[in-house]
């Protein structure tokens, strides 16, 4: 009988809490129907601007997960001036990121000296097969349309000039 006396006040207390919450507005997000408002500089997927990539391999070397794959070949560029010497440059053949391995740390975006990698706020890129999470350079290039414009610095901010190698 003593067990029942403890159950009734607990039950009444629980029903009172339920009745109170029934009258309140819910804060549930209707996700598939209503997309959430993302904060600026959200990290979603990494986009590639292939024209800026020089195949320097810095992003692949610095990646802690080794999820970036780059293949390139060298091409000879003729001399710019008569009597000058020919130069060689790397041509990007393959650039792929395996998003099944990526931990979205952003090291690759930070170490790229030629600004070829960017964060896109897009996060809806799930695939039915895990093998389809390997995005090649054409698919990574398609994400560039979703990269937001650069936000200007605040007034009075000290900006260090980025050194661009020649």
Task: Divide the 166 residues of the chain into consecutive groups of 10 and give the mean pLDDT of each group.
Answer: 66 89 81 83 92 95 96 92 90 96 95 94 90 95 90 74 53
Cβ atoms of 77 and 86 closer than 8 Å: yes
CB count, 10 Å around CB of 48? 26
Whole-number pLDDT of residue 128? 93
At residue 164, the 3 state secondary structure works out as: coil
Whole-number pLDDT of residue 65? 95
Whole-number pLDDT of residue 166? 46
DSSP letters spanning 94-109: EEEEETTT-----HHH
Which of 121, 130, 158, 134 is CA-nearest to residue 43? 121
Which of 153, 138, 42 is CA-nearest to residue 97? 138
> Cα–Cα–Cα angle for 26, 32, 35, nearest 5°?
80
Cβ atoms of 100 and 69 closer than 8 Å: no
CB count, 10 Å around CB of 89? 11
Whole-number pLDDT of residue 163? 52
Single pTM value for the model: 0.72
At residue 119, the 3 state secondary structure works out as: strand
Whole-number pLDDT of residue 140? 96
Residue with tokens 């007034």: 155
CB count, 10 Å around CB of 98? 16
List own/partner pairs for 2-11 with CB under 8 A and 24 or more apart: none
């Amino acid at each position: 009988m003593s067990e029942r006396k403890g159950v009734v006040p607990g039950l009444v207390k629980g029903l009172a809490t339920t009745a109170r919450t029934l009258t309140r507005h819910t804060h549930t997000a209707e996700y598939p129907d209503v997309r959430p408002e993302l904060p600026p500089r959200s990290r979603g997927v990494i986009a590639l601007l292939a024209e800026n990539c020089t195949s320097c391999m810095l992003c692949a070397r610095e990646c802690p997960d080794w999820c970036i794959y780059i293949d390139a070949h060298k091409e000879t560029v003729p001399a710019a001036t008569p009597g000058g010497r020919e130069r060689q440059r790397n041509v990007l053949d393959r650039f792929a990121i395996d998003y099944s391995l990526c931990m979205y740390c952003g090291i690759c975006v930070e170490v790229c000296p030629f600004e070829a990698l960017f964060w896109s706020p897009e996060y809806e890129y799930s695939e039915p097969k895990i093998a389809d999470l390997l995005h090649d350079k054409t698919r990574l290039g398609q994400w560039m349309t979703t990269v937001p414009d650069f936000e200007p610095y605040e007034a009075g901010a000290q900006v260090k000039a980025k050194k661009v190698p020649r």
